Each structure stands twice: as structure tokens, then as C-alpha cells.
Amino acid sequence: MKTTSVEEVNEPIDVLTIFRDGGIRPVKFKWAGKTYTISRVTYEWVSKEGSYPIYHFAVMADGDDVYEILLNTFTMRWTLSKVHMK
Amino acid sequence: MKNRIIMHVDMDAFFASVEQAADPSLKGKPVMVCGGLESRTVVAAASYEARKFGVRAAMPLAIARMKCPNGVFIEGDPEKYIYTSLRLNDIFREFSPIVEEYSIDESFLDVTDVADRFGGPVEIAKKIKQRVKEQFHLSCSVGIGPNKLLAKTASDLDKPDGLTVLAWEDLPAKFQTLPVEKLYGVGEETAKKLELLGVHTIGQLANVPVSALKKIFGVVGELLHDAANGIDNSPVLTEAERPPPKSVGNDYTLQRDTLDDELIRSVLLGLCSKVARRLRKGGHAGRTVTLKIRFSDFTTITRSRTLDTHVDLDKEIFDVALQIYQSLHKHMAVRMLGVSASNLMHTPPERQRSLFDYSFWKKYKRVIQSVDKARDKFGERSIMWGALIRKEAG
């Protein structure tokens, strides 16, 4: 069986994002010098830090790998929070 | 009175299914969601694939690893599940305004007055299942019955992804033939007592005279008798109708069993601070403070102290919890601590303070109010007690 583990990363990333019709759609992100093209957003959720929403996305990029990225609306910064390693 | 139509929606292996939806490569794999990945935690949810290996919710992680060494163990992400649960209930409310969020993965809907509008309760259930699948890639099991008890029992009869109707006429064949431990409210201990009486099925329990059950189980005996006969008149309560909490509490299992007094005091402060914050957020204050300590041999001591007045400030609760802690005989290392406040008053009035320490408490309260405001805006961890920054007490 192919094993999967989830690694905490918590590193800032640059994300090319489309804001349309009140929604947020991450398209590409750059992490550790490499650009990843998002092929699919598999899950979305919102948490809160105080009164500021944090938008979370589980995205597939460059194959089967899943990355969890988040936009903190207080700092207006994107972070790569986790990578599902295969 | 119109016959009620109640629906119970139970998400299938909720946390594990959310993780499988977020990472589609996990579909078909044994996935276990845990409180953490240290050996002291337990499995919070196991996917159906993991259950085939004998893994169950609440099983210690170390045992789950032995049973399913090639499984995928994931540290749970409560925010992901809470958000999903809220959105799921939004879907349910599109069909009926009477929705009770029973737990993070279970809801009751009273569809009595809206069923006709959607083509009947089964059609509502089908639509809900479809919406949940389309929007979240999750499955749920739905039970439909004339009350909450039967709806909940029905949702459990065909899991996962089931849709079961349990009508009054189905009781003898589908409900009363079930083992007695399947009856909602019958725990392990009650089931053991009933077994000793020769009661193995719900039907057999239904035939035991209520007087005999009352003799053995007290007031619960009558409830058991009603339940075994499918009787449950409890209403589906919306958020606004739910009674206020009876207590507010938090527990914490230490990463390692410890005799370190300073660490234990820090953990206690963290717990008291959380309890006090939750009390204030809900507009409550408690008169009884309870401390629970579990030692490394799993013996557990619970001690309470009732005060003259209701309290909701960190220091007030911490002072009492610490007094209780110091009065206890600590015979071995501590594994877990818990603090709770009960005997609650809702919307407590301003308190009369002693003249001697009036000034201190006035200032202290003002500080806490400012801390609450900062936390409301910037998050719970934006301001914390200095003692919590060290070690693992936060």
C-alpha cells in the first residue's frame, strides 16, 4: 500500500489568486523557488483568528500531491500549512 | 395531534471522510484521525476501511497502530470539521427551519410541516444526501421516524450511505428484534444488568413491567420502558431553544506523566483561563469549581468546592482549583487534569466585593475585559498568561 503522511510546513508562499464573484480561487503558488500549478481545489474551509477569517484550501498541484494553503485576512499573507506526502 | 416526521442525519465516519475528501488519494485507504500523533492520544474517527482492521473510535493510538500498521494516521483539524458541520446544517435548514445540531456529525430535523412541499420525507432525505455528496464529497446515513429515538435508530440500521424509514408498524420486526444495547440510552453497564435479567432484545425489554424496571433502575426504568416501546416525545430543539449549559469545563492530558508542581500549576492556570473565558463569552458565572486529576495508574480523583458567590474571572477560578490541588494527596505522577465550573448563573449581576480588595478586583476585571476584547479581535492566543508560554501548558 502506498503510504501517506502529512507534514506541517507553515511557510509563507506567493499565490496567484483570482478574486471573482466574492470567491477566492488560488491558481498557482511559489514555494522554495518552485512554481506549482493548482489543478484542483479538493476542499475549502474557513476558520477565524479573532474577528478575521482565514481561508483554507486543500489543493492538488503537479500530480497527486495535496497541499493545504491558507490566506490570513488580518496579515493578508498566504501560508503553505501542510503537505500530504506520498 | 399531527404525527411527527423526524429525520436524523448521521455523517459517515465524519472526520476521516472529510480528510479523504480533502485528499482524494486517501479514498479506499484505512484512515484514522487522531487528537495528535503521540502514542498517548486516541483515535477520534476511523474510516470504514480502517474499521475492517478492528480499529474503532476512542481506541488508543498505540493499539490502532498495531491493528493497522499500514494505515494513514492524520492529526485531526477541528476547524475543518466545525466549518463543514456548520455548512451541512445550513443545507439541512434549506429543507426545514427546525434543525437540532445534536453533535458535530449528527443533526435532527423536524420535517412534519414541510414534508409535503418537497414530495415527502424520503424525497427530502434523498435531496439532502445528494447535496451533501455534491458539495462536500461526503456520505451520510439518514433515518426517518415518528420521533427522535426511532429516527436515530433508523439511521444506524444501514450504514454507510443508508436511508431507512422506521414507522410505528415496523417496530416489532425492525426495532424490537434489535439487541438491547442498540437502544439509545442503554450503556454497557445497563446492558450487563439487563442481560442478567435475561433481557437480550429491545422487544424483551418492552415486555418487562415498568414497575420492575423502576425497582432496578429508578427513574431511568420508566425511560427505558418507554424507549423499548418506541416512545419519545422530546422535541427537536433549534439552537435558540436549547437550554443553557449546566457546566463549562476543559481537560488536558499531559504529554508525559509528571510530578513537576510548577508545570501542573501552569496547566491548571491554562485550564482555568479557558473555562473563565468560555463562561464570560456565554454570559455565565459558576459557583462550584471542580478539579479532576488522573494519575499515571489511571486512578482519578474529582473534588469540588462551592463558593459564596458566582465567579467568571481566571484568577477566581484558578485560586479555588489550586487550593483543591494543594489539599490533595498526590501519590504518583499526574497524567491528566480537568477543571470545570458548574452551578451556573446566566447573565450574572455585578458582584458586591469586600471593601478591602475592591480596588484590586476592579482593576483586575478591567484588565480581563481588555484581554477579552483583544482576543475577540485577534484570536485566543493573541494574549496569554506569561506562565503559559513556557513548557506545554498552553
Measured between CB atoms, does A48 come within 8 Å of chain B?
yes
Q: What is the CATH number of the domain that holds B367?
A: 3.30.1490.100
**Binning pLDDT at 50, 70 and 90, where does residue B390 land?**
low
Task: Identify whether residues B19 and B46 lie together within a single domain.
Answer: yes
Percentage of chain B surpassing pLDDT 70?
A: 97
Task: Identify whether residues B264 and B381 lie together within a single domain.
Answer: yes
Q: What is the pLDDT of residue B362?
A: 85
- Say yes or no for a CB contact (<8 Å) between B377 and A50: yes
Longest dimension (CA), chain B: 71
Pairing outcome for strands B163-165 and B140-145? parallel
Task: Identify whether residues B287 and B315 lie together within a single domain.
Answer: yes
In a domain, B239, yes or no: no
Pairing outcome for strands B72-75 and B106-110? unpaired
The residues of B annotated with a catalytic role in the active site are 106
d(CA A47, CA B318): 29
In a domain, B236, yes or no: no
Q: What is the CATH number of the domain that holds B142?
A: 3.30.70.270
d(CA B330, CA B332): 6
Q: Over the stretch A20-75, which tens digit does the pLDDT of each residue have?
A: 999 999 999 999 999 999 999 999 999 998 999 999 999 999 888 899 999 999 99
Identify the three-state secondary structure at position B252. Answer: strand
Task: Identify whether residues B214 and B343 lie together within a single domain.
Answer: no
Q: Which of B23, B74, B375 sits opposite A58 (nearest CB)?
A: B23
SS3 percent helix, strand, coil of chain A, rounded to 5, is 0, 80, 20
Q: Which of B74, B83, B377 sits opposite A47 (nearest CB)?
A: B83
d(CA B310, CA B279): 11
Task: Identify whether residues B142 and B66 lie together within a single domain.
Answer: yes
Q: Is B279 exposed, middle or buried (0-12, 13-18, 19+ CB in 10 A)?
A: buried
Q: What is the pLDDT of residue A2?
A: 46
Task: Identify whether residues B206 and B343 lie together within a single domain.
Answer: no
Q: What is the pLDDT of residue B346?
A: 87
What is the residue range of B360's domain? 247-389
Query: Which cell numbers in the block locate residue B33?
Result: 484521525
Q: What is the CATH number of the domain that holds B204?
A: 1.10.150.20
Q: For residue A13, give every residue at least 6 positions away whose Cβ sits within 8 Å of its Cβ, in sequence order, or none.
A: A29, A30, A31, A69, A78, A79, A80
- Say yes or no for a CB contact (<8 Å) between A4 and B25: yes
Nearest to B304 by CA among B320, B315, B285, B318: B320
Q: Is B198 exposed, middle or buried (0-12, 13-18, 19+ CB in 10 A)?
A: exposed
Q: Over the stretch B201-234, which tens digit does the pLDDT of each residue have?
A: 999 999 999 999 999 899 899 999 999 999 999 9
Task: Identify whether residues B43 and B133 lie together within a single domain.
Answer: yes
| List of chain B residues whose C-beta atoms are within 8 Å of the C-beta of residue A1 | 29, 70
In a domain, B275, yes or no: yes
Q: Do residues B342 and B303 lie in contact, with contact meaning Cβ atoms separated by under 8 Å?
A: no
Task: Identify whether residues B256 and B353 lie together within a single domain.
Answer: yes
Q: Is B269 exposed, middle or buried (0-12, 13-18, 19+ CB in 10 A)?
A: buried
Query: Which cell numbers in the block locate residue B94?
Result: 434549506
In a domain, B128, yes or no: yes
In a domain, B233, yes or no: no
Which residue in B has a C-alpha nearest to residue A64's C-alpha?
Answer: B25
Measured between CB atoms, does A28 come within 8 Å of chain B?
no
- Say yes or no for a CB contact (<8 Å) between A4 and B22: no
Task: Identify whether residues B147 and B294 lie together within a single domain.
Answer: no
CA A33 to chain B, closest CA, distance in angstroms equals 24
Q: Over the stretch B267-312, which tens digit does the pLDDT of each residue have?
A: 999 999 999 999 999 999 999 999 999 999 989 999 999 999 999 9
Task: Identify whether residues B22 and B161 lie together within a single domain.
Answer: yes
Q: How many CB atoms lie within 10 A of CB B361?
A: 15
Task: Identify whether residues B110 and B182 lie together within a single domain.
Answer: no
Which residue in B has a C-alpha nearest to residue A2's C-alpha?
Answer: B70
- Say yes or no for a CB contact (<8 Å) between B25 and A48: no
Q: Where are the domains of chain A?
A: 5-85
Query: Position B36: which residue type?
Result: G
- Say yes or no for a CB contact (<8 Å) between A51 and B79: no
Nearest to B30 by CA among B12, B46, B50: B50
Measured between CB atoms, does A3 come within 8 Å of chain B?
yes
- Say yes or no for a CB contact (<8 Å) between A43 and B80: yes
In a domain, B371, yes or no: yes
Longest dimension (CA), chain A: 43
Number of folded domains in chain B? Answer: 3
Q: What is the pLDDT of residue B360?
A: 84
Q: What is the pLDDT of residue B394?
A: 47
Q: Over the stretch B91-113, which tens digit does the pLDDT of each residue have?
A: 999 999 999 999 999 999 999 99
In a domain, B394, yes or no: no
d(CA B394, CA B390): 8
CA B381 to chain A, closest CA, distance in angstroms equals 9
In a domain, B39, yes or no: yes
